[in-house]
């Protein structure tokens, strides 16, 4: 076998932790290859080199060609990949998580499968949005009403602050151009937030489909999670970009760039990691690879033991 070009496969201890990485990188109409430990991105404007181990999620839009060697590096470096449609308004697939443990997934499944604990987590998510009042005793119907009123108030306040006209939220996934500038910006901003939320959920090994407020969709928990941050990020960014650029045909692209900067400046990624673990009741500690065997009476059993050679009265 000939000599392999490029860097050796990195060890897990050498990879950047999810909360220390750049949030996301959106690419479209480009060719992706690999050189050593960097992703080579080439388009009609030139070529750049992206260190694979410092990006949390790579959003691949239309017109992207990816080589096998690039995907190999992406996989070994723990970068999450999300394939999205034009303007980021569709999300098609994603790759393996950065976290190789199942602790969060098991905790999430346990919490969402019990009506009492599911309600507790849902109330906890609403409490994060209503910090000044106690909502622990409110029903889901009352909480939905309060949340609807809160969102309408935020839209109204942002409209007054930026002098951007606002009437209502409209979104047609089949005809993006039919929307008003502010609704285009909101769509782009929310989708960027969904992408980041998805990347954190997937990277930590939780399920995007097991939602506590939303349900019945493979992205239910993504919508739950992203709703926690819209008031601080996607809504004000969308209004600010519309006030600045108006009916600019590139309003969606400019809004995505502004969201990227807001994520970085606000340290949202680290906040999301901590919030997700807190919601699911898992300690905010370093992830460790573990693999055990399940037993209905004895609990977790060690992996790699030749159990057919162990006598019944022996300790494993």
DSSP code string of 238-262: HHHHHHHHTT-TTHHHHHHHHHHHH
> Confidence class of residue 140 from pLDDT cuts 50, 70 and 90?
very high
User: Above pLDDT 70, what percent of the chain?
Assistant: 76
Mean pLDDT (the chain) is 81
Q: Helix, strand or coil for residue 33?
A: strand
Is 282 labelled as part of a ligand binding site? Answer: no
Contact of 207 with 279, CB cutoff 8 Å:
no
Is 261 labelled as part of a ligand binding site? Answer: no
Domains and CATH numbers, the chain: 12-94 (3.100.10.20), 103-279 (1.20.120.920)
Is 100 labelled as part of a ligand binding site? Answer: no
Nearest to 286 by CA among 98, 30, 23, 8: 98
Q: Is the pLDDT of residue 87 over 80?
A: no
- pTM value > 0.85: no
Q: Helix, strand or coil for residue 109?
A: helix
Average confidence (pLDDT) over 117-144: 93
Cβ burial, residue 286 (10 Å; 0-12/13-18/19+): exposed
Q: Is the pLDDT of residue 215 over 80?
A: yes
Q: State the Cα–Cα distance between residues 8 and 68, nearest whole angstrom.
A: 16
Q: Is the pLDDT of residue 188 over 50?
A: yes
Q: Helix, strand or coil for residue 272?
A: helix
Q: State the Cα–Cα distance between residues 164 and 170, nearest whole angstrom.
A: 15
Per-residue pLDDT at 249 = 85
User: Above pLDDT 90, what percent of the chain?
Assistant: 45
Per-residue pLDDT at 86 = 62
Nearest to 35 by CA among 52, 56, 17: 52
CA 167 to chain centre: 29
Average confidence (pLDDT) over 38-45: 92
> Confidence class of residue 156 from pLDDT cuts 50, 70 and 90?
very high
Instruction: Tell me the per-residue pLDDT of 243-274, one tens digit each, with 9 for 90 and over.
Output: 999 888 889 989 988 998 888 776 788 889 88
Contact of 173 with 71, CB cutoff 8 Å:
no
Per-residue pLDDT at 47 = 94
């Amino acid at each position: 076998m000939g000599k392999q070009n490029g860097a050796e496969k990195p060890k897990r201890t050498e990879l950047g932790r999810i909360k220390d990485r750049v949030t996301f990188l959106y690419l479209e109409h480009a060719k992706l290859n690999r050189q050593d430990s960097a992703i080579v991105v080439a388009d009609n404007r030139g070529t750049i080199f992206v260190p694979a181990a410092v990006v949390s999620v790579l959003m691949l839009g239309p017109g992207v060609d990816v080589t096998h060697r690039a995907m190999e590096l992406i996989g070994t470096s723990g970068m999450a990949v999300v394939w999205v449609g034009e303007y980021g308004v569709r999300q098609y697939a994603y790759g393996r998580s950065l976290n190789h443990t199942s602790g969060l997934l098991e905790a999430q499944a346990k919490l969402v499968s019990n009506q009492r604990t599911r309600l507790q987590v849902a109330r906890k998510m609403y409490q994060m949005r209503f910090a000044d009042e106690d909502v622990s005793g409110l029903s889901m119907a009352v909480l939905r009403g309060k949340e609807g009123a809160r969102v309408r108030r935020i839209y109204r306040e942002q409209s007054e602050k930026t002098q951007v006209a606002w009437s209502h939220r409209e979104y047609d996934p089949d005809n993006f151009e039919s929307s008003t500038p502010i609704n285009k910006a909101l769509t782009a901003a929310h989708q960027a937030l969904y992408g980041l939320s998805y990347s954190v959920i997937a990277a930590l090994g939780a399920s995007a489909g097991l939602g506590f407020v939303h349900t019945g969709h493979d992205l239910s928990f993504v919508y739950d999670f992203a709703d926690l941050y819209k008031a601080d990020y996607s809504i004000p960014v969308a209004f600010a970009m519309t006030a600045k650029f108006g009916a600019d045909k590139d309003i969606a692209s400019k809004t995505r760039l502004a969201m990227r900067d807001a994520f970085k400046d606000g340290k949202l990624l680290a906040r999301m990691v901590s919030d997700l673990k807190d919601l699911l009741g898992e300690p905010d500690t370093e992830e460790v690879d573990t693999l055990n065997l399940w037993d209905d009476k004895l609990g977790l059993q060690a992996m790699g033991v030749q159990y057919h050679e162990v006598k019944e009265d022996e300790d494993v």
